[in-house]
Amino acid sequence: MDRRDFIKKSIQAGIILGTASTFGKHLNFFSSIVSNSKTNYDLVAIKGGEPDLMFDKAIESLGGMKSFIKKGQKVVVKPNIGWDVIPERAANTNPVLVKRIVQHCFEAGAKEVYVFDNTCDDWKRSYANSGIEKAVKDAGGKIVSGDSERYYQKVDVKKGKRLTSTKVHELILESDVFINVPILKHHSSTDLTIAMKNLMGNVWDRGYWHRNNLHQCIADFTTFRKPDLNIVDAYYVLKRNGPRGVSKADVVMMKSQIISTDIVAADSAAAKLFGMHPEDISYIKIAAEMKLGEMDLSKLNINRIIL
């Protein structure tokens, strides 16, 4: 693809390129001329590389994975593996990114790294055809099923308003470090699915959420255990017909990632990247009102990187 075609497709995706040190303007998110010179970043937004290389650069600016993982710890990595489709369909997290995250975890000293999801399609086919099962095994991690209720334990969601109890996968309860790796995409029920909604794959009964104010339940569960790190995959982005997509025609290549310890900030930035205002996504607004994170990105120290 030549530069003219790249710029054209980027504009169609809602991104207008800026200089080599900035992202383009879009909904005031990528409007800075230069990145903040401080190093204690609240959020990193990176664009223009392959998933593994972007993650290398982004996590470096946050102090490396050793800032989040201590030697000997047990880590759970939770991507979206919900759908029996290939990576280019943008329904699941990119396997190249998942592999690199697992590698970084071991390099930081993790004793064990587990990866799982409670899938929507058949779990064996979703794990295989997403490319994530092979990626995890190649990196030395352990891929774990989420298809049986016996893996889930009942917990109280003490700060929940509509979701006050649920059954959570044992890996989320037992691991020392929890890394959330959603893919940014359209969703028919919530407009967007990003980091907070990706947490639905941690529980057994997702149907309850749909029946009892889905947006409030998403925010409620975020009060239970926030991820230690959120890594939003926006390499391929499903712009319509989500969450599964119909064909590759639904997908735009954005070659981007957003990384933050603040799950509300990560979702807010990703919403703007997609071309939406975060306050228009109900669960983001509710979570911000519940003081679960920062929706106003102007208050954050953001590192914007273009490779």
User: Which pLDDT band holds residue 21 (cuts at 50, 70, 90)?
Assistant: very low
**What total number of domains does the chain contain?**
1
Beta strands in the chain (DSSP E): 43-47, 74-79, 112-115, 142-143, 152-156, 165-169, 177-181, 183-187, 191-193, 229-238, 251-260, 302-306
Residue 137 has a pLDDT of 98
Q: What's the CATH number where 197 sits?
A: 3.40.50.11440
- The answer to whether residue 26 scores a pLDDT higher than 50 is no
CB neighbour list of residue 82: distance below 8 Å, 6 or more residues apart = 91, 92, 117, 119, 120, 121, 126, 201, 243
The helix-helix angle for 51-61 and 95-107 (nearest 10°) equals 40
Residue 14 pLDDT > 50: no
Distance (Å, whole) CA 66 – CA 72? 12
Q: Is the pLDDT of residue 4 over 90?
A: no
User: What Cα–Cα distance (Å) separates residue 277 from each residue in 200, 206, 228, 305?
Assistant: 22, 26, 25, 22
Residue 39: predicted pLDDT? 66
Question: Does the pLDDT at position 64 exceed 50?
Answer: yes
Which burial class, exposed, middle or buried, applies to 36 when counting CB atoms under 10 A from its CB (0-12, 13-18, 19+)? Answer: middle
> Could you tell me if 92 and 121 are in contact, meaning their C-beta atoms sit under 8 angstroms apart?
no
Q: Please compute the mean of the pLDDT values over residues 179-200 and round it to a whole number.
A: 97
Q: What is the pLDDT of residues 97-132, one digit of tens each?
A: 999 999 999 999 999 999 999 999 999 999 999 999
At 248, list the tokens: 């590759």
Q: Is residue 95 a contact partner of residue 130, using CB atoms and an 8 Å limit?
A: yes
| 182 vs 15 pLDDT, higher one | 182
Q: Which residues of 229-262 are buried (b: 16+ CB within 10 A; e: fewer)?
A: bbbbbbbbbbbebbbbbeeeebbbbbbbbbbbbb
Q: Tell me, what DSSP letter sits at residue 129?
A: H
pLDDT of residue 65: 97
Q: What is the pLDDT of residues 239-269, one digit of tens each?
A: 999 999 999 999 999 999 999 999 999 999 9
Residue pLDDT, tens place only, 133-165: 999 999 999 999 999 999 999 999 999 999 999
Q: Give the bridge partners for 259, in sequence order.
A: 44, 231
Alpha carbon separation from 140 to 75, 123, 135, 201, 209 (Å, rounded): 13, 20, 9, 22, 34
Which structure tokens are listed for 142?
């352990």
Among 196, 246, 192, smallest CA distance to 222 is for 196
Q: What is the pLDDT of residue 74?
A: 98
For 214, the domain range is: 3-306
| Cβ-Cβ contacts under 8 Å for 242 (sequence gap 6 or more) | 91, 185, 186, 187, 188, 193, 250
- Asked if pLDDT for residue 17 goes beyond 70, the answer is no
Choose the weakest-confidence range: 1-15, 28-42, 189-203, 204-218: 1-15
* Per-residue pLDDT at 5: 46
Centroid of chain to Cα 68: 17
Please give the model's pTM, rounded to 2 decimal places: 0.89
